[in-house]
Structure 1
């Protein structure tokens, strides 16, 4: 069965529509999605950036927000501005999402966190926000959050971020099929077609 690695960052604006769109699109064409949360901070640091490019270049940032509004309107996705300065800190959410990979709840958790960030105006770096999401998914929030902070799980997330660097990933969302890289929400359909063709 063809498969695709889906690389996303919880602070990434363009990851939001991709997260909400990818599952039904992949199912329609028979592609298995490997959800790969990772961290853009270390990648940006490798480029000498101390902040998001959308903050470093305000004109680009203003365009991004308007572009995201158009995308969400076209996809019938709700959108509100996050409650804190962009970008939010997605480290804890990424660790939790990584901890859930083997048990299969990472996609549901991921969608709920993006909804909390870009729809409900919640601060996704807050423990109580993440715990509430886990509880709504029927999970033991205390146990999951403890597991997410283990040295082993932290090492897994670091290794995933290192792999993203090795693959040449420089932004989110990104999609890889083997060594083939597609970047951006607007490349999702193209990445799925490539996966089907190469599957």
Structure 2
């Protein structure tokens, strides 16, 4: 069996994934071009029911107040260390399919990287609500894609099926959080594990 390409799982929801993305693109672009990129998100009720019927359980757990407060402090510290100016977004009615399924469409059209950059900027630097289809439509326009197609991706049955396949992939890979990096049998979880992943990938592709 052929060895799978190195890969990383990202989420637009996670500030740690945003910082890992920034680090990856700023300092390790050669590795970014050698790996596969997979989205990770919490499914809505419909997708959750489909996954349950297929015997797929995803490792989501409720966050305690103490952990939430720690993350607020930790993220501010990490952003400051990187010289990043961030805005903590307010998610009133998050629908993560809106942005992550739109990514699948953008990636199919060859503009996945541009879409990721624009969504991360909108969420973590401008404080926009990426669960709002209008925000996704605006991002699509800015990167030269059909705003209607991307902003309605979450209602397209074919795209939703692809979304289920993506969630099944993270289930099979044993992904339990983001950012999550995999190279062969080696797994790396967390933004602070990115250097180890980079070294692993470079050691066998140099």
TM-score w.r.t. length of structure 1:
0.84
Give the deviation of 1:171 after TM superposition. 0.3
Distance change in 2, residues 1:136/1:169 (3 Å): same
Distance change in 2, residues 1:67/1:168 (3 Å): same
Q: Please, which of 7, 10, 13 is the counterpart of residue 8 of structure 1? A: 10
Unaligned runs of 5+ in 1: none
Partners of 1:180 and 1:33 in 2: how far apart?
14
Partners of 1:169 and 1:79 in 2: how far apart?
26
Name which of structure 1's ranges 169-178 and 32-41 shifts more when overlaid on structure 2.
Answer: 32-41
2:203 is the counterpart of 1:168: no
Give the deviation of 1:146 after TM superposition. 4.5
Partners of 2:32 and 2:15 in 1: how far apart?
27
Partners of 2:5 and 2:117 in 1: how far apart?
20
Q: Please, which of 18, 35, 46 is the counterpart of residue 20 of structure 2? A: 18
SS of the equivalent of 1:32 reads coil
Partners of 2:31 and 2:170 in 1: how far apart?
25
Higher relative contact order (CA 8 A, sep 6+): 1
Count of residue pairs the alignment pairs up: 191
Which residue of 1 is the match for residue 130 of structure 2? 124
2:116 is the counterpart of 1:114: no
Q: Give the conservation status (yes or no) of the 8 Å contact 1:11–1:88.
A: no
Moved over 6 A (4+): none
Give the deviation of 1:37 after TM superposition. 1.0
Distance change in 2, residues 1:141/1:12 (3 Å): same
Q: Over aligned residue pairs, what C-alpha RMSD do you find?
A: 2.5
Distance change in 2, residues 1:48/1:81 (3 Å): closer
How big is each residue's C-alpha offset from its partner over 1:87-146, in whole Å with a ceiling of 9 and x where there is no partner?
943211100111122332112211211221122111111011111111111222113344
Distance change in 2, residues 1:174/1:157 (3 Å): same
Q: Where in structure 2 are the equivalents of 1:48-127 lying within 5 Å?
A: 49=61, 51=62, 53=63, 57-85=64-92, 88-127=94-133
Unaligned runs of 5+ in 2: 52-56
Partners of 1:48 and 1:135 in 2: how far apart?
33
